[in-house]
Chains A and B, each alone.
Chain A
Amino acid sequence: MRQKTKIKYNQDRLYYIICYTVIAILTLVVLYPIIYIISASLSNADSVVQGRVWLWPVDINLDAYKVLFNRKSIWVGYKNTIIYTVGGTVINLVITLMCAYPLARKNLRGRSAIMFLFSFTMLFNGGMIPNYVLVRELGLMNTRWSLMLPGAMSVYNMIVCRTFIQTNIPDELLEAAQIDGCRDSQFFFRVVLPLSKPIIAVLALWYGVSHWNAYFNAFLYLKNQDLYPLQIFLKELLVQSEQMGETEMVLGNSGSISQNLYVTLKYCVIIISTLPLFCVYPFVQKHFQKGVMVGSVKG
Chain B
Amino acid sequence: MKKKNTSVSRGITKRDPRKDWELYLFLLLPIIYILIFKYVPMGGLVIAFEDYKVRKGIWASEWVGFENFVKFFQSYQFWRVLKNTLILSLYSILVSFPLPIMFALMINSVRNERFKKITQTIVNMPHFISTVVMVGIVFMIFHCTNGIYGNLMHAITGHYPKDLFASPEAFRHFYVWSAVWQNFGWDSIIYTAALSSVDPSYHEAAQIDGASRFKRVIHVDLPTILPTIITMLILRMGSVMTIGFEKVYLMQNSLNLSASEIISTYVYQVGLSADGTGDFSYATAIGMFNNLINFILVVTVNKISKKVSETSLW
Contact = CB atoms under 8 A, between A and B. Distances in A.
A188 interface: yes
Interface in A96-150: 98-99, 101-103, 105-110, 114, 117-119, 121, 123-134, 138, 149-150
Interface residues of B, number: 103
Given A108-B15, A278-B125, A99 B5 contact: no
Q: A174, A183, A292 — which one has the most chain B CB atoms within 10 A of its CB?
A: A292
Interface stretch (A29-37, A62-70, A82-90, A194-202): A29-37
Nearest to B150: A51
A128 B48 CA distance: 12
B308 interface: no
Contacts of B110: 19-20, 23
Contact of A108 (B20, B129, B190, B283): B20
Interface in B1-59: 1, 4-5, 8-9, 11-17, 20, 22-27, 29-31, 33-34, 36-45, 47, 58
Contacts of B132: 213, 215, 231, 234-235, 238-239
Chain B contact residues, majority secondary structure? helix
A103 B125 CA distance: 34
A214 B133 CA distance: 11
Contacts, number: 279
A118 B39 CA distance: 10
A34 B123 CA distance: 11
A153 B25 CA distance: 17
Interface stretch (B73-81, B89-97, B208-216): B208-216
Contacts of B298: 123
Nearest to B244: A216
Contacts of B107: 23
Interface in B164-183: 165, 181
Interface of A: 4, 8, 11-12, 15-16, 19-20, 22-24, 26-27, 29-31, 33-34, 36-37, 48-51, 54, 95, 98-99, 101-103, 105-110, 114, 117-119, 121, 123-134, 138, 149-150, 152-153, 155, 158, 171, 174-175, 178-179, 181, 183-185, 188, 209, 212-216, 220, 231, 234-235, 237-239, 242-243, 263, 266-267, 270, 273-274, 277-278, 281-282, 285, 289, 292-293, 296
